[in-house]
Amino acid sequence: MSPLIKMALYILIVVCLIIIGLVILALFPTRIKSLPVSNPAQSYDDALRRIQDIQSRERDNPHINPACYTRLLTHDQETERAIVLLHGFTSCPEQFAQLGEAFYQKGYNVYIPRMPGHGYYQRSGEALKNRTPEEMLTFASESADIGRGLGAGLTVSGLSGGGSLAVWLAQERGDIDLAAPISPFLGIGFIPSALNRPLANLANRLPDFFQWWDPVHKANNPLTASYAYTRYPVHALDNFLIIGFSTKHSAKRTAPAAGQIIMVTNASDRSVNNDINQRMVSIWQGQSGAKVHHYQFPKDLDLPHDLITPTRKGSRIDLVYPKLVELLGAAKKSTGAVQ
């Protein structure tokens, strides 16, 4: 056998082994070990006490940036509508401050909680180490529990990682009137859809390591907000993919529990996988009785993945915020299609 043929044979064997490995990883279960038990607030006062307890613990922690404390915009009583806004991975509640104000001006009580491990002065992401999918889901469930006491009708929305949690809440919580995930992180945009699950499973089984959002500028990333982290542990990011895979598995078997769902995506988004997000919408829409709609910001707007942070380069909050308020407000009032 010639050396050239031997080389080709070795390459073929290696490729086959890689393919077999990816297939095995794709089939490996990604279910969550344990799901949180919901405990909805029984009144406005009950919800307020829970929020005040969270805020007190944050103030007592000298490592948390005050700009990132959990926020409540309240009309001092239960309102017709309340909204819970879940910030993105490595960001904090400040991200949603201005959009929250827009909903507050529309009569909503607005709750913007801080995710576990987020909002610390130390922006290197160390506080995100050893976080688990179960911890993120407990946070999401407790946030919905609190929101339940703030308004007669409850909307839950979130961006990116927060959007992944909103997807899970849409599937699991029947006491949410409207779930509105915004560009949820259910898959990595630059990786083919079929490879997302095996690569996520692989990353989860390798030793954890840190990744810069901007490998060139690193801690001086010009696109990162002053309160957000400039890097992250890969396992912490992977948690949201695991939550997404688990939710998709559940959605194939049962209809989503939320009263209505509107998935909001961004056609120019290169960070999350819009094909996977569209697949999630299609699975939901295929379930009997599910009220699920999809709105996509057009590509010609050239919006960044983070279309919520006002200071983000390329953001168009003059267009995005009014549209989100319109979409979520319209969906609350009607079960018809959202245009």
Q: Tens digits of per-residue pLDDT, 68-114?
A: 999 999 999 999 999 999 999 999 999 999 999 999 999 999 999 99
333 confidence band (pLDDT: 50, 70, 90)? low
Q: Which long-range contacts (CB under 8 A, 24 or more apart) does 312-318 make?
A: 312/223, 312/225, 313/222, 313/223, 317/98, 317/99
Average pLDDT over residues 261-285: 96
252 confidence band (pLDDT: 50, 70, 90)? very high
Residue 25 confidence (pLDDT) above 80 = no
The whole model's pTM is what? Answer: 0.90
Query: Which class in CATH covers the domain with range 40-333?
Result: alpha beta
Provide the pLDDT for residue 22.
42
Residue 38 confidence (pLDDT) above 80 = yes
Average pLDDT over residues 128-151: 97
Please, what is the average pLDDT of the chain? 90
Residue 26 confidence (pLDDT) above 80 = no
